[in-house]
Amino acid sequence: MEAKISSETIRKEIAQYLSRLWRYGLVLSHRRDVADDLVQATCVRALERAPQFIAGSRMDRWLFSILHSIWINEVRAQQIRRGQGFVDVDELVGEEHSDDPIWSNDVMKRVNRLPEAQRNTVFLVYVEELSYREAAVVLNVPVGTVMSRLATARLTLAQDTALQASSPQFKGEKT
């Protein structure tokens, strides 16, 4: 029989995952306030559903799944259309992030231009280092879909990089 963990144990352990959850919430929503709300809702749901967590399994993967599920439910409930209500990544780059390479990095801007499904998959696999199988569980899709999304995202990013490299503006030339 699989051992269950109490909500008190989860309460003690959840703090170490808050920054990672917030980062994923920001990737999904592109808004700090929404990321805050997603993390709070994730914590509440995790505590409410503590008996569902299996001892010995990865708590971070379980928490990511909860957060992703909350986000999907929120999107469905509000019928948010692509781009509506989102803050562009360029608007997030301010003085407080000017020294932080993750925010000023051109690669991050390119990744943010990917379709949402690809962007979320890239984040989970390459930033959070989930396996394809773990990302598939979080996203509630088959492993093959994760692999396809990553392949398409890599191709898009490679083409974007090649296009940028061949652009006169990229080379510092005037057009």
pLDDT tens digit sequence for 81-115: 444 444 444 444 444 444 555 444 666 777 888 89
- Report how far residue 119's alpha carbon sits from residue 152's, in angstroms, rounded to the nearest whole number: 11
Of 69, 73, 76, 26, the residue nearest 46 (C-alpha): 69
Q: What is the DSSP string of 21-50?
A: HHHHHHHHHS-HHHHHHHHHHHHHHHHHTG
Looking at the fold, whether 82 and 126 belong to one and the same domain comes out as: no
Structure tokens at 64: 């990511």
- Report how far residue 122's alpha carbon sits from residue 153's, in angstroms, rounded to the nearest whole number: 8
Looking at the fold, whether 58 and 101 belong to one and the same domain comes out as: no
Q: Which of 56, 87, 118 is the last residue of a domain?
A: 87
Looking at the fold, whether 103 and 125 belong to one and the same domain comes out as: yes
Selected residue with higher pLDDT from 99 and 134? 134
pLDDT tens digit sequence for 150-171: 999 988 888 876 766 666 555 4
Looking at the fold, whether 21 and 62 belong to one and the same domain comes out as: yes
Q: The pTM is what?
A: 0.60
> How high is the mean pLDDT of the chain?
78
Q: What is the CATH number of the domain that holds 59?
A: 1.10.1740.10
Mean pLDDT of the 5-13 span: 81
Question: Is it the case that residue 41 has pLDDT exceeding 90?
Answer: yes
